[in-house]
């Protein structure tokens, strides 16, 4: 396989994602599993997400009293992890996508 280094990325997967910037489902999947394998925890779980949309949603829906003031301030300052957002949303009976839109799922694929 001498021509391996000059490989053309015609098949969707990690190579296509990295070198051809393809972002189809197959390529994203491949990259996601690659990253997961080489990092102990997924980026998604460490990444802090801006709490503003969540806090706004709570105010607009009269649910801001569900959390105490110090929690709200902490969220506003540091943001929340995806995991925390999930937990809060489950408690509120709302899907994170209803608050954050589809960008909620896109975090793990951004560079």
Residues 36-55, interacting with Zn ion (CB under 5 A): none
52 within 8 A of 76, measured Cβ to Cβ: yes
Q: Does 22 bind Zn ion (CB under 5 A)?
A: yes
Q: Does 12 bind Zn ion (CB under 5 A)?
A: yes
Nearer to Zn ion (CB atom), residue 12 or residue 36: 12
Rounded Cα distance between 80 and 107, Å, is: 13
Q: Does 27 bind Zn ion (CB under 5 A)?
A: yes
Q: Does 90 bind Zn ion (CB under 5 A)?
A: no
Rounded Cα distance between 32 and 19, Å, is: 15
Q: How far is the CB of 85 from Zn ion (least distance, A)?
A: 28
Two structure tokens written together for 9: 């990325």
Helices (H) and strands (E) in the chain, counts: 8, 2
User: Which residues sit at the interface with Zn ion, rule CB under 5 A?
Assistant: 12, 16, 22, 24, 27
């Amino acid at each position: 396989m001498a021509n391996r280094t000059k490989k053309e990325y015609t098949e969707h997967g990690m190579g296509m994602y990295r070198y051809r910037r393809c972002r189809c489902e197959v390529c994203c999947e491949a990259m996601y599993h690659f990253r997961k394998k080489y990092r102990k925890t997924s980026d998604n779980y460490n990444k802090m997400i801006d709490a503003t949309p969540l806090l706004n949603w709570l105010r607009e829906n009269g649910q801001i009293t569900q959390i105490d003031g110090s929690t709200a301030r902490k969220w506003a300052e540091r943001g929340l992890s995806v995991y925390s957002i999930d937990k809060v949303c489950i408690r509120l009976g709302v899907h994170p996508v209803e608050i954050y839109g589809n960008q909620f799922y896109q975090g793990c694929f951004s560079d």
